[in-house]
């Protein structure tokens, strides 16, 4: 079965086609980053309008390139949340309109389940059960995964998400939006001069807190002449603190759950220092580690097409309900 996947939860319009046996057929992404960077962050109303402009042409292009017509498509998967309501509604309404016109089922996909399952698109996918660390612009979660839709939340951020912390810290350092990749680029030139704390690692539990690192950044910055080298040194201290904190918590979660596989996904998992730090930790713990390819760490249509395909195969679909949820706890998902 060919499944068309649509992603419009934030600032990227993603379209992909996944086939239940042949795997990923095609995927296209249009990023709105240039439009939002002028404002230093995502402007929700502009995001919705741009999804309206880009989504249908991107669907046409994706199907044309794959040599497929509407008759070939077995179902349509769309991101139904969590995300920006207006942006979500564009994908949800488009998916349901196509489903109605083509007489095919539509399936609402949880955006974080999409991120979580993204490593399944790689050559050597993990088998269940595994531990998942989801680190993105809006979420930081440790999840015990027994199967698709069988999620137990072990810990999450009590304040800023990991990606949000990267973006806010980058902003303080005068870097543009989104700051994550820019901050990590700057950190390459940094020297290990500052030591930032590893928040919440000195007490038990698997929750995270990243907002305190902003204060450290601010204070460190004010104590220097704010030269390029000072900023690079601070960027390095921040990135090292996040990478080590994530590794400490994942190690604790692996030991606690006795799981021997770790999946790391979401935009921040594109960060090479974080990937390396987690890989070294997993090696020591004798656990296998899995990441999506960098382009599938951030938002994309492929992960939505994949997740939707698994649920459609299990006969799940949304009927004629157009589902869009700004907030949607991952534990509420039905098992497959
Ligand atoms: P969510 O998935 O929680 O709804 P989102 O979809 O906005 O949020 P993603 O697209 O998964 O988030 O990831 C974007 C985030 O990843 C941004 O905060 C960005 O700064 C961060 N990011 C991307 N690349 C890197 C990198 N190399 N290093 C650090 N952070 C990065
Ligand atoms: Mg984005
Ligand atoms: Fe995302």
Nearest CA to ligand 1 atom 8: 137
Q: Give mean pLDDT, residues 226-235.
A: 98
Query: Does residue 317 have a pLDDT over 90?
Result: yes
Nearest CA to ligand 1 atom 16: 267
Measured in Å, residue 87 CA sits from the centre of ligand 3 at: 13
Output the average pLDDT for the chain: 98
Measured in Å, residue 68 CA sits from the centre of ligand 1 at: 32
Cα 273 from Cα 94, distance rounded (Å): 38
For residue range 165-199, list pLDDT tens digits in order: 999 999 999 998 889 999 999 999 999 999 999 99
Measured in Å, residue 145 CA sits from the centre of ligand 3 at: 18
For residue range 270-316, list pLDDT tens digits in order: 999 999 999 999 999 999 999 999 999 999 999 999 999 999 999 99
Residues framing ligand 1 (Cβ under 6 A):
9-10, 83, 111, 115, 136-139, 163, 166-167, 178-181, 184, 266-268, 270-271, 298-299
ipTM: 0.99
């Amino acid at each position: 079965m060919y499944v068309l996947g649509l992603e419009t939860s934030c600032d990227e319009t993603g379209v992909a086609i996944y086939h239940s046996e042949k795997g990923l057929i095609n995927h296209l992404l249009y990023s709105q980053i240039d439009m939002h960077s002028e404002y230093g962050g995502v402007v929700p109303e502009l995001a919705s309008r741009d999804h309206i402009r880009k989504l249908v042409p991107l669907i046409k292009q994706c199907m044309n390139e794959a040599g497929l017509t509407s008759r070939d498509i077995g179902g349509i998967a769309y991101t139904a949340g969590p995300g920006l309501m207006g942006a979500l509604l564009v994908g949800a309404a488009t998916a349901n309109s196509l489903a109605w016109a083509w007489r095919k089922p539509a399936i609402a996909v949880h955006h974080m389940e999409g991120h979580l399952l993204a490593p399944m698109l790689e050559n050597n996918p993990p088998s269940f059960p595994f531990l998942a660390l989801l680190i993105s612009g809006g979420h930081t979660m440790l999840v015990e995964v027994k199967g698709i839709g069988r999620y137990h939340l072990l810990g999450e951020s009590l304040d800023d998400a990991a990606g949000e912390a990267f973006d806010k810290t980058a902003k303080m350092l005068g870097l543009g939006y989104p700051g994550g990749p820019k901050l990590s680029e700057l950190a390459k030139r940094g020297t290990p001069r500052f030591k930032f704390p590893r928040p919440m690692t000195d007490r038990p539990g698997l929750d995270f807190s990243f907002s305190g690192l902003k204060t450290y950044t601010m204070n460190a910055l004010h104590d220097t002449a704010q030269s390029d080298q000072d900023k690079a040194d601070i960027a390095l201290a921040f990135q090292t603190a996040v990478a080590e904190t994530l590794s400490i918590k994942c190690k604790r979660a692996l030991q606690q759950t006795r799981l021997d596989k770790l999946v790391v996904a979401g935009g921040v998992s594109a960060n090479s220092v974080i990937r390396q730090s987690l890989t070294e930790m997993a090696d020591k713990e004798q656990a296998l580690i899995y990441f999506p390819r960098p382009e599938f760490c951030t938002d994309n249509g492929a992960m939505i097409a994949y997740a939707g395909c698994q649920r459609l195969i299990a006969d799940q679909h949304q009927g004629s309900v157009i589902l869009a949820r700004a907030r949607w706890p991952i534990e509420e998902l039905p098992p497959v």
